[in-house]
Every structure is written in C-alpha cells, then in structure tokens.
Structure 1
Amino acid sequence: MRWQVLEFLRKEGISERLIDEIDKFRNFYNVHKEMEYRIPDPRYKYYGNDVWEQAITALLCGENILLVGSKASGKNVLAENLAAAFRRPSWDISFHVNTDASSLIGTDTFENGQVVLRHGPVYECAKWGGFGIMDEINMAKNDSIAVLHATLDYRRIIDVPGYDKIKVDDAGRFIATMNYGYAGTRELNEALASRFMVISMPAITTENLKKMLEVEFPHLRKEYLDQFAGLFKDLKLKSDNSEISTKSVDLRGLIAAINLMDKGLDANKALEMGITNKSFDDFERRLVDDVIRLRVPRKLERSEIFEH
C-alpha cells in the first residue's frame, strides 16, 4: 500500500494551502500509465517542516532545487519524498567524473537496422514530465553538465545534435543534491548554481531522528530509542569538533545495525558492522567504540532492546 504522503504532511504541520496546491498539481498533470511504476513509494520519511515548505513552494513555482548539506542530512530522502508528494515519475541521475553529455541525454545505438537515439535519464525525465534527482551534482566536470544549461533555465529545452529539440514537459522538475567535502567533489559552476533555488539542509534533530526510528522499529523500547538517537548525536558532535571523521556518522549504518539486533545479532557486533568499522583507522575506531560504550553496555540482550 502506498504511503499517504499528503496526510503525513498534514500531521507534520505543513501549510494546508500548500497541500491543496500539491493536490491540484497532481490532478492537473496526469501520469502516463507506462510511467506509473517510476513514482516512488519511499521507505523513509523526511521530517522538517521548514525545509518541506521551502521545497514545495519552489517546485510549485516551476523552479528546480539544489539541496546542500552534510552527510546524513536527508537530501536524497527529501528528493524521493518530493517526487512521491507530487506523484511524479522519478529518474535517479548519478554524477561522477566520467559523466558526459551522452550519459545524461542519450547516445546512438542500432535498432532494427538503423541508428537511433537511446534516451538518457534527462531526456526521459523531460519527455514524461518527471522529477530528475541529480545525486552529488558537484562531482561532475563542468563541461559535461554545461549541456544542461538550456534544460534548467527559462528555455526548458534539450537540443540533441543530429536529432531534434525537445521541450521539457511543464510538470518536469530537477532536484540536485551536493555535499561539500566528499572525495572527488568540487566547487559548483556558478552558471549552473544560478539555475537552482538552493536549500541548506540542516542536520537531523534528535526529535526527528526519534520519529524516524519509531516508525522503522515500533517495538524498540523507549530507553534504547533515546540511547540510539543520543549515540548518533554524540558521533555527530565528535565529527563536528574534528575528533573523528564523518565515516562513522552514518545514519543508514545505525538503522541497519538496529535491524541486525532485531534479527538476533549481538548489539555490539551489529554496531561494529554498521558504525565502528566504517572507519579504517585503528585509533578512530577506538574513539568511536568509546562513544558507543557510553550508550550501549557490552552485554546487551535483544529482549532488553525490543519489547517482543
């Protein structure tokens, strides 16, 4: 059963006016049956009223948005949630140093004895009015994404050399994410940045982290709900103070570790796999282990963590 995203937004206190506008958008822009399978049904929900309202307003105004934030700030979760909220098919577009125009727009291929264009994700997104989620956009070379300038600005076109010029469907939007500091990232091209409305993503609050864990693990005892949320914040603080790297500040790893505990694995072994061992430096691993010890005792049974 699909997540009732508009009801979730109401519970989170999002403006009723914005929710009504999303509903009008969904009813006005139909999704072709062939593309319905691409509408996301997110596993995780993004919590954060202000960010939700900024993103919704920008997308309703026809803007593309750039989500900028540190690790574990929920950039990709929000992007997927937005596609689900607007009920649009989505395309995940991963950027890296070898990304070129053909991987974004399309490349020549043989079909039925003739050369045709095999459409890339940006082309498909434009054609079907989808939401293109551009992951870590600042990892790509500037010359490779320069082809997107006309797609992302007021022209909203893709001019494919040797083929045709196509217009981006009115429902189409692009949501880019970036994280300064990752290996391989670089300063974003100014011309490209000017084509987005930029949202600075705050770190997840302890309250919102607890909400996420409660939804994911409804039978997690309150004591350890507090301890695991506190553990993540302790690691984030250590990282912010440059005592450890960001490698162990891994929300996906924490959730995966709790899932392993639920399946019966020893809590400390699970946290080793999900958090501690994400760092490959012995000294840092010991520091991370010390942080865990303050929250999670060495001998911990599953029955102490979960209610049944």
Structure 2
Amino acid sequence: MAWIFGRPEYDISFHVNTDSADLIGTDTFINNEVRLRKGSIYQCAEFGGFGILDEINMAKNDAVSVLHATLDHRRRIDIPGYNRILLHSATRFIGTMNYGYAGTRELNEALVSRFMVIDMPEMDEDSVLFVLRQHFPDGEKSALKAFAGLFLDLQIKAYHGEISTKSLDLRGLVSAVKATRSGLSPIDAIQMGIINKSFDVFEKEIVEDVVSTRIPSSWTGKDIWG
C-alpha cells in the first residue's frame, strides 16, 4: 500500500520491552547538545508515512498509550520538552497481531477503538496455493498441491485441538520448500520447517503422521522442481 500511494514505510516491531522512547524518540547527545533522536512513530508522523505496528499485542499497554492522541481525531504527538507534532495528512497506521500467541496480551479498549479491525479468516486451499505459487512459480503443481494439503490438514488438527498451532506455520512451510531447492530432501526439509516446531513428543507424532499422508519419504527435489 505504501508503494501504491508513494509514501515511505516504517516498520515497528513490538515486544515486551517496547516503551514510549522506542516509538516517539528519546534524548541523545550530539555535538555537545541534547537533541531528540526521533523514533519511528515521530518520523512516520512527520513525513506522512505508513506505520506498520507489527505484533502490536506484544507491547505493554502503557507503551502503546502514547499513541492515543496520534490515532484519534487529534492526530498529534505531544513530546515533553519539545514541540507538539501535528501528523502529516497522509500518515496512516496499520496494526497487525496474532491473537492468542504466547507472550501476547489483550489490547485495551481505548486502543482497539482507534482502529478498524479486519478479522482474517482461516486459509483455504486456493489461498495457500496462491502463496506457494507466488514463491515458487517453477514448482510442480502436484507437489505444491501436496504441500498445501499438508498445511490444511494441520489446520484442521489445530482447529479441533488435537495439536497446537506451533506446527501450523506457513512461513516454515515456505522455508521448507525453499530448502529443497538447495538439495535438502523434501521429508528432511518438512522435518525442520514443520515437524520440529512442536516440542511435545506426542504432538510431534501426530504431525509426523499427517506429513506421511501427504509427503512421501521417497520424494526428491526432482519431484518438486521437475
């Protein structure tokens, strides 16, 4: 979207230690003077960029509370000891989160009320295949369909509570397929990219059983790349 609108993009990755200084800025010493080292939110507001607030539900509520005046009708940032910053008219903020992941927390209502929320549905076969074909346009269609089927089978298992979502990792699946291009056997790649994401012995056995129904152990790179 930033590219379409010709605006700069600022990626802000949230974590449990994120504080207001990381977002807005903090004092620093330059040329024997105390100056403000501008944070990503400050720069986004100043230059009219698209701010991507990645994993916003990992930050503490007191850290993201500094964004309240930025995200509502006031569209400004008040920095103690410095000037008030009015947001550029093109400034936009997009928050992303994986609800329920370990280490995340509930967002407070004041923050949620400042966003329009898009609830992403579970992926179906067409959407998984689209992702795989975007990454691997030269891959065999039957092989990519098998990998997509593996992801969907794991998704069903996770939905019914038979396994956790640790092995339901699309990024890991893409990395596994990519590793086969470098010579790793498909089953070994899936072992590292999907199966080993689960550290529970019994859960790992379930995932291995699902993998065995989709990815034959006899497969080689030629079965994927022709």
Q: What is the TM-score with the length of structure 1 in the denominator?
A: 0.71
CA displacement at 1:83 relative to structure 2? 2.4
Aligned length, in residue pairs: 226
Q: Which residue of 1 aligns with 2:223?
A: 304
User: How many angstroms apart in 1 are the aligned matches of 2:205 and 2:6?
Assistant: 46
**Aligned ranges for residues 106-255 of structure 1 at < 5 Å?**
106-255=25-174
In the alignment, which residue of structure 1 is the partner of 2:183? 264
1:91 maps to 2:10: yes
- Greater RCO, CA 8 A, separation 6+: 1
What is the CA distance between 1:234 and its match in structure 2?
0.4
Q: Report Cα offsets for 1:158-206 as digits up to 9, x if no partner.
A: 0110011011101100000122211222221111111111111112221
Partner letter of residue 26 of structure 2?
T
Matched residue SS, 2:142: helix
Shift of 1:272: 0.5
The SS at the match of 1:201 is coil
User: Quick one: distance in 2 between partners of 1:206 and 1:250?
Assistant: 15
Cα separation, 1, equivalents of 2:10 and 2:62: 22
Query: Paired residue for 2:209?
Result: 290
For structure 2, the 5+ residue unaligned runs are none
Which residues of 2 match residues 16-27 of structure 1 at below 5 A? Answer: none
Identify the match of residue 199 of structure 2 among 258, 270, 280: 280
CA displacement 1:27-69 (0-9 Å, x = unmatched): xxxxxxxxxxxxxxxxxxxxxxxxxxxxxxxxxxxxxxxxxxx
SS of residue matched to 1:107: strand
Deviations 1:103-133 (A, max 9, x none): 1100000011100000001001001101111
SS of structure 1 residue aligned to 2:99: coil
Deviation at 1:214, TM superposition (A): 1.6
Measured on the aligned residues, the alpha-carbon RMSD in Å equals 1.1
Task: Tell me whether 170-179 or 209-218 shows the greater mean CA deviation.
Answer: 209-218
Gaps of 5+ in 1: 1-81
For 2:168, give the aligned amino acid. V
Aligned mates of 1:216, 1:301 — CA distance in 2: 19
